[in-house]
Amino acid sequence: MNRLAAETSPYLRQHADNPVDWYPWGEEAFARAKKDDKPVLLSVGYSACHWCHVMAHESFEDPDVAEVMNRLFVNVKVDREERPDVDSIYMQAVQAMTGHGGWPMTVFLAPDGRPFFGGTYFPKDDRPGTLGFLRLMEAIDDAWRNRRDTLDEQAGKLHELLGRSGGLAGGGGEGGDGLSSEVLARAHEGTRSQFDPRFGGFGGAPKFPQAMTLELLLRTYVRNQAPETLEMVTVSLDAMAAGGMYDQVGGGFHRYSTDEFWLVPHFEKMLYDQALLAGAYLHAYLVTGVPSYRRIVEETIGYVLRDLTHRSEAAFFSAEDADSEGVEGKFYVWSQEEIEEICGEDAAEVIRYFGVTPGGNFEDPHTGHRGNILHVVDRTAEAPPAVVRAVRKLFAAREKRVRPGLDDKVLLAWNALFLRVLAETAAALERDDWLEVARANARFLLEEMRNERGRLLRSWQEGRARHLAYAEDYAALLEALVTMAEVDDVAWLAEARAIADDLLRLFHDDAEGGFFTTGNDAEVLIVRPKDWQDNATPAENSLAANGLLRLAALTGESRYESAALEVLGALAPVMGEHPTAFAYLLGALERAVTTPLEVAIVGDAPDLRREVFGRLLPAAVAVSAPPDTGADVTPLLAARPLVEGRATAYVCERFSCKQPVTDPTALRTQLDEALAARRTS
């Protein structure tokens, strides 16, 4: 066993019995590299990464390859999910060198940490058009011994490039001057130009489920009521839910589709995808009332609570692998013979509905294992009773299979993303059981994922928490706690403010605005990165801008708003031109340029709450509380008496309120009028 055996990351521990003399990221590795005058071979991946497993089997488990690695380099293994700061820096370097990125990422560094060469997956031996890993390492060693000046010059240029990447020339100024709804209009046109009207989604294969873009379009539709806007959402959601991207048997979404029509996925399941997509389907249900969207939400959340939840803690695991028993997708695919045997008299209907064929529609390229990825042939058809019965049988049979590998580390940001949608869904669908899970998860994150000084930590695994939390973690938790304050108890606002204050203290760039990835108390890397663009998850600056604007709307404190406007001002020139890269941040822009809608409910009134939390209200905040409580944490609840002793709703804009109402129909009318005024303004 090498040094990785004691790590909290399942990905690192997967490499603990490699013959490679791995180091985790840290001072020990770089001190060894300086002492031995060797380059560092940095390998970055994550547990659910299919090609990471392929490279591990081909190279890192091979004694001959390991001998070369150990002789020529100091080898460092990093879990990108635990160390997004390290991953971000060196991914930028690889993209600058090669024009693309991905995982596994392989980077060669000088002993001072500066990169000089890198790439992604390398096969063990040469293939047509691809340099093999063995020959690459020998070439790097030769250059290190004989052409050191050239490598040092390359490292210097890359270091300079990386140092510039955190800055971004702004056009809006620190006060947000120049921000306008015109940026939102350009963003809408940009998404329309990328939309695939036949299969949904944006762009071609491989096709990622851009939940944040779909959320942006849903909010746009509430404003513009344009059928073509809603069509982009519904076509995409219907196609994804019908395809192999969605687990038709057990619920939940796979990572992305390798084709343009959502049939063949990469089979890993990530917690953050469940969070973001459940949110998109929830909001689509609230806007359209389509029952199948509610079903997808309930099945997706059900999957997480069933298969990605700690057995004794209210904590959510990170991911499930694509592979089981060394075969990609084996847990999820079916032969026609299996369908016929398990489903019995319902088999013919199941075969027709899910497009099952004798030859299957998927083959693992490494093992040749074939099978059928279940998909709904008619993507708008509801499952007939025979299929509903059969799916239960298929699920029971599948539970007896060897499950994919589980990444059981608990990441703060990803838990916070899921916490937010869990709480919002609990309120919208009136699921008190889910709200109780949300409360328990919020308590877990605030209590268990801290060090002795109260500093939040990034990663937890079976009682061990480590790695200082990043801006992404603080900002995602801020958003989740604001949501908990809205749908559960306004007392959560006290915790939200404390997190926001720490976010500003530890991560804010006082010189140029925005938020650094790492805190001012963190390990010093070759550069201090900033993450501007939304990717598979919202960027730290997008999360921070949204969370701070929501908090400002609830507390009336301008300092939170000012920090958010700095981010928006810096990115205003590019947001509208690249909407899918800034989809989550465009939600913050929407809040900034829209008069905030504020709703306060005083008293116990499920019917009034239903009117507020059972619909999509863009750029709004809402709270509810018993009479004469909550004014100490939000001015929205100050001087809000009951009317005639009945629970009362107050609809306000910038704390100036309409006539208070006690009837849900009157509340609905006021909310409708407020939204209509935004459409005409």
Residue labelled with tokens 């509340």: 667
pLDDT of residue 236: 98
pLDDT tens digit string along 235-265?
999 999 999 999 999 999 999 999 999 999 9
Nearest CA to 374 out of 337, 336, 341 is that of 336
Given this chain, do its domains 3-165 and 597-680 carry the same CATH topology?
A: yes
d(CA 209, CA 237): 9
pLDDT tens digit string along 378-424?
988 889 999 999 999 999 999 999 999 999 999 999 999 999 999 99
pLDDT tens digit string along 152-176?
999 999 999 998 876 654 444 444 4
pLDDT tens digit string along 118-142?
999 999 999 988 899 999 999 999 9
Residue at 501: amino acid letter = D
Two tokens at 38?
């060797």
Average pLDDT value for residue range 208-212: 96
Two tokens at 175?
């006060």
Number of Cβ atoms within 10 Å of the Cβ of 294:
18
Residue labelled with tokens 């398990």: 342
- HSE-up of 520 (CA within 13 Å, CB side)? 10
**Vertex 138: Cα angle to 135 and 140 (nearest 5):** 110
Residue labelled with tokens 């080898």: 75
pLDDT of residue 167: 63
Residue that wins the pLDDT comparison between 679 and 382: 382
Give the CATH architecture of domain 182-322+407-593.
Alpha/alpha barrel (1.50)
Average pLDDT value for residue range 596-602: 95
Is residue 361's pLDDT more than 50? yes
pLDDT of residue 175: 46
- Kindly list the domain boundaries of the chain, sorted by start residue: 3-165, 182-322+407-593, 324-403, 597-680
Two tokens at 330?
């084996």
pLDDT tens digit string along 518-560?
999 999 999 999 999 999 999 999 999 999 999 999 999 999 9
pLDDT category of residue 450 using cuts at 50, 70 and 90: very high
pLDDT of residue 258: 95
pLDDT tens digit string along 311-340?
999 999 999 999 999 899 999 999 999 999
Give the CATH architecture of domain 597-680.
3-Layer(aba) Sandwich (3.40)
d(CA 148, CA 141): 10
d(CA 584, CA 536): 11
pLDDT of residue 580: 95
pLDDT of residue 365: 86
DSSP reduced 3-state for 561: helix
Q: What does the mean pLDDT of the chain come to? A: 95
Superfamily (CATH) of domain 3-165: Glutaredoxin (3.40.30.10)
